[in-house]
C-alpha cells in the first residue's frame, strides 16, 4: 500500500491494468514513453493516433493493450486486424508478434498477403496481419472470417494518407465494420489505432481515419542524426554506381561497420549499384544483397533473413525497406541518391542504429548542390519540418470498389443492385460513379443485377481488381538451379544480367517461353537488364519544406518574397509554384509564367502573397485551373482512365492543393523585397 500523500506513477498501474499482457510484452522491462502514454486509452477501447519516432515501441504500444482486451472480454476468435502498407513489413511483424505470443498459444498471430495465405480460420486467433489489398480481397470474398473484429491497427499511415491506397483502405474498413457483428458487452467497443513516425497534420489523420474521434498521442523528440558525407563525381548513372561502390568500399575498409543498408531512389539505380558493390566487395567479409519490389516473396524473405542473421552484410534497396522492418541492427545508412521528400529521408535513416539514440547516415553526393540538398533534409529532420499533405476524393478508387462488389455479386449468385449498393459499401452511395460506369459500359444492368463488362470481368477473375496501383504485365523469372521463382520481369530481358540470389545471373528463355536465371561467368558478362519502374506518380520537384530549409540555411527569410534577375522568389516549392503559375495563366495575368522550386519566372511584380491568395480563391471558385494543368497534380490510380470525361476532370481538379496553398500564402509576409 502506498503511503498517504505519495503520488503514484501511472506507469506503475499498468501491470494491474494488463495482468495478462504485461508478462508477455514487458517482462523485466519498463514501458517506453509512447507505450506508457498510449496504452491506457487503448485499454479503455478508445481510438488513438500514435505519433512518435521510429524504433520507439509503437507496435507494442498498440498490440499489448489490444491483447489484454482480447483476453479480458473472453474473445474466442480473431478480434484485431493489423494493416501494414507493405508485405515486407507484414512478414517482419509476423515474426516479432509470434515471438511474443506463440508461448501462450499457437495460432494467435495470423498473416494474409499476396505472398502468404496463412489465415485458415478465425477460431483461436487474436490478430491478423495484412495489407490494404489483401484485406480488400479477404473482406470481399470471406467476410464471415472478419465478423468478430473489434479493433483495427493501421501502421505507417503516412505511407497511405493522401494516397489512393489510403482511400481504398478506408472504404474497405467501412465495409468491414458494416458487416461485423455488434459486441454483446457495452464496453467491448470497436476502435481504431493509427500509427506514424512522420506526419505533419495529425488532426487531418484523425479526421480521415477515426472519423474525428480519438486521442492524439505524440511523444518523443526526433532521433539524433550523425550526418556524414562522401563526394563522388559522375556524368552518367553507370559512372555514379561505380563511383558510389568505390566510395563505400573505401569507407568500409577504413571504418569497418558490420551491417550497412544502402538506399537508391529507383530500381535501376539500385540495381547498378548492387552489381558494382558485388564486384568491389568480392572476397571481403561483406556479402551484397539486393531488395526491390519485383523480387519474389521467397527471394525477399531470403534477403531479409540473411541480413537479420548474419554478422556482416550490405543490402541495397529502394523504398521496400523504408518501413519498420527488423533486419538486425544496422550500423550505417547510406543514401546513394537524394531522397525525394523529408518523409522518405526520415523513413530511410530510421532503419539505422535502432538500438541507440543516434543514427549514422552517409550521404554520397555529386557536387555541392547535392550536398546542400542533403544538408537541407538533415535540417528539416532535426527540426521536425515535414512535407505538406493533400487528401482528396478519387472517383477512380470508388470505381474500384463498385467493380469489386459487382464481380463478387455476379460470381456468388447474390448480385449487386442499385438497391443494395449502399448497404454493401457500408453506407456510401457512389451514385455519380455508378451512373458513369453504366454510361461508359464498364457496368451493365441485367434484370436488376449490375454486371461488369466482359473485359473487366476477365481482369477480376484474375483477381487484379484488389489494387488501385497501376501495374504492368510481368513474367516470372525462374532459378535455373532450384526451379524457384526469383523475380518478375516486365520487358524481355533475354541475354541480359540481373543481380539475383546473391549474385549476377544471365537471363535465358526456354523453348516453352519460360525465363530462367543462371550464373554468369567471366568479367565481361553482358548488359544489365532494365528493371520495370515503380508507378509512384509525377515528380513534383523540391517540396516547400525543403526549399524553406535551403533558404534558412542561407540566412534568408522564406516567409518574405523577393524579386531577382530570374523573377519572383516565393520559396514555395515546386508544387505550390506550379499552382500559382496555373492560376496566373487562368486569370490571364501572365500567360508566359513558368514555375521553379524557388519561385516564378515572371514579370508579375504586382503580385505579393495577399494578391496571389485572392487570385487563387477566385480561380478555385470559378471552377479551377485548366484540366491539363490539374493533371500535373494527379497521383496515378489504376482505374482513372476508365472514368468518363466528367469524372476524370473532377478527380484531376480534386488533386489540386488549393487549401494547402492558401495556408502557405497566409504564412508569408506581405512585403516583397526588390
Residue 324 has pLDDT above 70, yes or no: no
pTM tops 0.85: yes
Residue 604 has pLDDT above 60, yes or no: no
Number of compact structural domains in the chain: 5
Per-residue model confidence (pLDDT) at position 222: 66
Strands, E assignment, 538-630: 561-564, 567-569, 594-595, 599-601
Q: What is the mean pLDDT of residues 117-135?
A: 95
Q: Does one domain contain both 413 and 501?
A: no
Task: Classify residue 211 by burial, with Cβ atoms within 10 Å: 0-12, 13-18, 19+.
Answer: exposed
Q: pLDDT: is 72 or 564 the higher one?
A: 72
pLDDT digit string, tens, across residues 343-401: 888 888 877 666 666 789 999 999 999 999 999 999 998 887 888 889 999 999 999 99
**DSSP per-residue codes, 136-181:** HHHHHH-GGGGTT--EEEE-SGGGTTTSHHHHHHHHHHHHHHHHSP
Task: Classify residue 533: in a domain, yes or no.
Answer: no
Task: Classify residue 5: in a domain, yes or no.
Answer: no
| Kind and range of the H or E run holding 292 | none
Q: Does one domain contain both 480 and 617?
A: no
Task: Classify residue 620: in a domain, yes or no.
Answer: yes
Task: Classify residue 591: in a domain, yes or no.
Answer: yes
Distance of CA 131 to the CA centre of its chain: 11
Task: Classify residue 534: in a domain, yes or no.
Answer: no
Domain span at residue 399?
A: 395-425+441-461
Residue 492 has pLDDT above 80, yes or no: no
Per-residue model confidence (pLDDT) at position 327: 66
Q: What is the mean pLDDT of residues 491-517?
A: 84
User: In the listed set 218, 246, 276, which residue is the last one of a domain according to the structure?
Assistant: 218
Q: Does one domain contain both 158 and 72?
A: yes
pLDDT digit string, tens, across residues 510-519: 888 888 888 8
Q: Which residues contact 526 (CB under 8 A, 6 or more apart)?
A: 495, 496, 497, 506, 520
Per-residue model confidence (pLDDT) at position 605: 61
Per-residue model confidence (pLDDT) at position 523: 46
Q: What is the mean pLDDT of residues 651-656?
A: 97
Q: Does one domain contain both 269 and 362?
A: yes
CA distance 551 to 632: 26
Rg, Å, the chain Cα set = 26
Q: Does one domain contain both 208 and 233?
A: no
Q: Does one domain contain both 362 and 509?
A: no
Per-residue model confidence (pLDDT) at position 539: 42
Longest CA pairwise span in the chain (Å): 85
Residue 1 has pLDDT above 50, yes or no: no
Q: Does one domain contain both 53 and 158?
A: yes
Q: Extract the C-alpha cell encoding 669.
A: 509576409
Task: Classify residue 537: in a domain, yes or no.
Answer: no
Per-residue model confidence (pLDDT) at position 565: 85
Task: Classify residue 538: in a domain, yes or no.
Answer: no
Q: Which residues contact 259 (CB under 8 A, 6 or more apart)?
A: 307, 310, 311, 312, 313, 314, 327, 328, 329, 330, 331, 332
Per-residue model confidence (pLDDT) at position 323: 62
Residue 491 has pLDDT above 90, yes or no: no
Q: Extract the C-alpha cell encoding 73.
A: 472480454
Q: Does one domain contain both 211 and 229?
A: no
User: Of 104-118, 191-205, 472-486, where does mean pLDDT reach its minimum?
Assistant: 472-486
Residue 326 has pLDDT above 60, yes or no: no
Per-residue model confidence (pLDDT) at position 141: 96
CA atoms within a 13 Å half-sphere pointing along the CA-CB vector of 30: 6
Residue 451 has pLDDT above 80, yes or no: yes
Closest C-alpha among 327, 316, 372, 376 to residue 350: 327
Q: pLDDT: is 297 or 456 the higher one?
A: 456
Q: What is the mean pLDDT of residues 94-108?
A: 94
Task: Classify residue 531: in a domain, yes or no.
Answer: no
Residue 248 has pLDDT above 80, yes or no: yes
CA distance 585 to 579: 10
Per-residue model confidence (pLDDT) at position 656: 97
- In percent, the amount of the chain with pLDDT more than 90 equals 66
Q: Does one domain contain both 300 and 174?
A: no
User: In the listed set 218, 251, 280, which residue is the last one of a domain according to the structure?
Assistant: 218
Domain of residue 311, CATH code = 3.40.50.300
User: Of 49-58, 208-217, 482-491, 643-652, where does mean pLDDT reach its minimum?
Assistant: 482-491
Q: Does one domain contain both 253 and 130?
A: no
User: In the listed set 218, 244, 259, which residue is the last one of a domain according to the structure?
Assistant: 218
Q: Does one domain contain both 79 and 29?
A: yes
**Band of the pLDDT at 419, cuts 50, 70, 90?**
very high
Average pLDDT, the chain: 90
Q: Does one domain contain both 125 and 258?
A: no
Task: Please give the C-alpha separations between residue 53 and each of 156, 222, 302, 442, 473, in angstroms, as whole numbers.
Answer: 11, 6, 28, 45, 38
Residue 300 has pLDDT above 90, yes or no: no
Amino acid at each position: 500500500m502506498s503511503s498517504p500523500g505519495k503520488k503514484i506513477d501511472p506507469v506503475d498501474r499498468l501491470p494491474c491494468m494488463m495482468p495478462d499482457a504485461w508478462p508477455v510484452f514487458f517482462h523485466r522491462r519498463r514501458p517506453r514513453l509512447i507505450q506508457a502514454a498510449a496504452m491506457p486509452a487503448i485499454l479503455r477501447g478508445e481510438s488513438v493516433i500514435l505519433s512518435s519516432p521510429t524504433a520507439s515501441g509503437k507496435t507494442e504500444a498498440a498490440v499489448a493493450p489490444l491483447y489484454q482486451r482480447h483476453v479480458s472480454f473472453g474473445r474466442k476468435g480473431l478480434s484485431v486486424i493489423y494493416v501494414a502498407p507493405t508485405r515486407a513489413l507484414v512478414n517482419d511483424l509476423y515474426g516479432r508478434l509470434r515471438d511474443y505470443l506463440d508461448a501462450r498459444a499457437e495460432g494467435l498471430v495470423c498473416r494474409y498477403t499476396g505472398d502468404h495465405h496463412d489465415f485458415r480460420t478465425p477460431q483461436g486467433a487474436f490478430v491478423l496481419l495484412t495489407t490494404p489489398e489483401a484485406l480488400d480481397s479477404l473482406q470481399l470474398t470471406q467476410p464471415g472470417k472478419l465478423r468478430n473484429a473489434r479493433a483495427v491497427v493501421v501502421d505507417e499511415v503516412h505511407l497511405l494518407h493522401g494516397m489512393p491506397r489510403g482511400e481504398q483502405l478506408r472504404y474497405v474498413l467501412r465495409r468491414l465494420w458494416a458487416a461485423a457483428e455488434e459486441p454483446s458487452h457495452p464496453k467491448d467497443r470497436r476502435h481504431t489505432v493509427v500509427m506514424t513516425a512522420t506526419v505533419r497534420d495529425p488532426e487531418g489523420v484523425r479526421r480521415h481515419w477515426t472519423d474525428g474521434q480519438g486521442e492524439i498521442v505524440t511523444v518523443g523528440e526526433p532521433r539524433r542524426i550523425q550526418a556524414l558525407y562522401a563526394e563522388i563525381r559522375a556524368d552518367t548513372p553507370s559512372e555514379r554506381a561505380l563511383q558510389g561502390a568505390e566510395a563505400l568500399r573505401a569507407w568500409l575498409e577504413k571504418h569497418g561497420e558490420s551491417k550497412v543498408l544502402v538506399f537508391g531512389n529507383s530500381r535501376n539505380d539500385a540495381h547498378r549499384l548492387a552489381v558494382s558493390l558485388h564486384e568491389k566487395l568480392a572476397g571481403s567479409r561483406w556479402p551484397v544483397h539486393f531488395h526491390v519490389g519485383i523480387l519474389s516473396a521467397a527471394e525477399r524473405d531470403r534477403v531479409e533473413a540473411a541480413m537479420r542473421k548474419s554478422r556482416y552484410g550490405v543490402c541495397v534497396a529502394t523504398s521496400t525497406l523504408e518501413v519498420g522492418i527488423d533486419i538486425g541492427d544496422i550500423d550505417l545508412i547510406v543514401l546513394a541518391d537524394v531522397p525525394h521528400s523529408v518523409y522518405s529521408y526520415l523513413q530511410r535513416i530510421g532503419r539505422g542504429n535502432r538500438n541507440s539514440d543516434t543514427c549514422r547516415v552517409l550521404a554520397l553526393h555529386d557536387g555541392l548542390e547535392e550536398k546542400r540538398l542533403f544538408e537541407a533534409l538533415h535540417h528539416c529532420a532535426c527540426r521536425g519540418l515535414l512535407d505538406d499533405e493533400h487528401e482528396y476524393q478519387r472517383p477512380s478508387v470508388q470505381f474500384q470498389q463498385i467493380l469489386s462488389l459487382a464481380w463478387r455479386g455476379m460470381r456468388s449468385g447474390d448480385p449487386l443492385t442499385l438497391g443494395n449498393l449502399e448497404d454493401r459499401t457500408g453506407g456510401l452511395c457512389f451514385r455519380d460513379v455508378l451512373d458513369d460506369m453504366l454510361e461508359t459500359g464498364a457496368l451493365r444492368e441485367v434484370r436488376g443485377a449490375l454486371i461488369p463488362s466482359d473485359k473487366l470481368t476477365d481482369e477480376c477473375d484474375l483477381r487484379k481488381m484488389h489494387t488501385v496501383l497501376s501495374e504492368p504485365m510481368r513474367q516470372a523469372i525462374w532459378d535455373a538451379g532450384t526451379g524457384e521463382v526469383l523475380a518478375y520481369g516486365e520487358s524481355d530481358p533475354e541475354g541480359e544480367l540481373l543481380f539475383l540470389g546473391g549474385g549476377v545471373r544471365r537471363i535465358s528463355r526456354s523453348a516453352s517461353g519460360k525465363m530462367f536465371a543462371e550464373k554468369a561467368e567471366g568479367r565481361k558478362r553482358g548488359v544489365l537488364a532494365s528493371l520495370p519502374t515503380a508507378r509512384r506518380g509525377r515528380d513534383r520537384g523540391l517540396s516547400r519544406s525543403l526549399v524553406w530549409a535551403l533558404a534558412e540555411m542561407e540566412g534568408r527569410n522564406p516567409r518574405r518574397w523577393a524579386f531577382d534577375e530570374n523573377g519572383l522568389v516565393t520559396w514555395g516549392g515546386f508544387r505550390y509554384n506550379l499552382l500559382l503559375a496555373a492560376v496566373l495563366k487562368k486569370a490571364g495575368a501572365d500567360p508566359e509564367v513558368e514555375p521553379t522550386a524557388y519561385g516564378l519566372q515572371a514579370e508579375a511584380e504586382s503580385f505579393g502573397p495577399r494578391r496571389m491568395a485572392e487570385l487563387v480563391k477566385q480561380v478555385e471558385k470559378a471552377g479551377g485551373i485548366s484540366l491539363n494543368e490539374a493533371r500535373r497534380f494527379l497521383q496515378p490510380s489504376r482505374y482513372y482512365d476508365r472514368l468518363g470525361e466528367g469524372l476524370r476532370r473532377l478527380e484531376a481538379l480534386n488533386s489540386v492543393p488549393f487549401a494547402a496553398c492558401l495556408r502557405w500564402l497566409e504564412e508569408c509576409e506581405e512585403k516583397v523585397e526588390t
